[in-house]
Amino acid sequence: MCSFFFVYRYFSELTEYGWDQSEKFVKIFVTLGGVQHLDDSAVVIKFTENSMNVNVNNLNGKDFGLVINNLLEPIDVDKSYRKIKTGMIAIYLKKSREGRHWSCLTSIQKRIKDQQDTELKSSDPDNPSDALVNIMKKMYQTGDTKTKQMIAKAFAKIRK
């Protein structure tokens, strides 16, 4: 008689990370408490020329994942790597084109930034308050609950 036991672990998508860059690398920093105690094989990173996928298996009974697609520029898969540090995974994406500055991490973020910049520049130059109103609208659209409340209060005071 055979018995099978399946262990299901909760999966958590990682959505917060920091990034920086040098002439040769784009560095991504993912904070994850206790990751340094895992076996090296529990942290798996797959690179493609335009993406990166992180999987952390069985950290305190949970699995974690982070996927970043559509990188702004291509990376050298063979020279990209990761380091496990205390409470953090540091991922080094080797730039295929060294020396090129990345204004954003992904092409989607770049497109959104460019669109927002265009909208702000398209304000009426004879009415500078239009630019301020556009900035406030953008802050309201992308802000958290407290930011929205603060902006709503400010607009209410203006209208009185």
Taking the C-alpha atoms of residue 150 and residue 103, their distance in angstroms, rounded to an integer, is 30
- pLDDT reported for residue 2: 60
Indicate if the pLDDT at residue 61 is higher than 70. yes
- Name the pairing type of β-strands 18-21 and 25-31: antiparallel
Range in 47-51, 108-112, 149-153 the model is least confident about: 149-153
Residue whose C-alpha is closest to residue 28's, from 6, 45, 4: 45
Q: Which of 52, 56, 29 is nearest to 40 (CA)?
A: 56
Q: Edge to edge, what strands does the sheet with 62-68 contain? A: 10-13, 62-68, 51-59, 43-48
**What pLDDT is recorded for position 65?**
95
User: Nearest to residue 92, comparing CAs of 78, 101, 82?
Assistant: 82
Q: Would you state the pLDDT for residue 140? A: 74
Q: Is the pLDDT of residue 79 over 90?
A: yes
Looking at per-residue confidence, does 135 or 119 come out higher?
A: 135
**Residue 53 one-letter amino acid:** N
Question: What is the rounded distance in angstroms from the CA atom of residue 87 to the CA atom of residue 41?
Answer: 17
Mean local confidence (pLDDT), 120-148? 70
**Confidence check: pLDDT of 128 > 70:** no
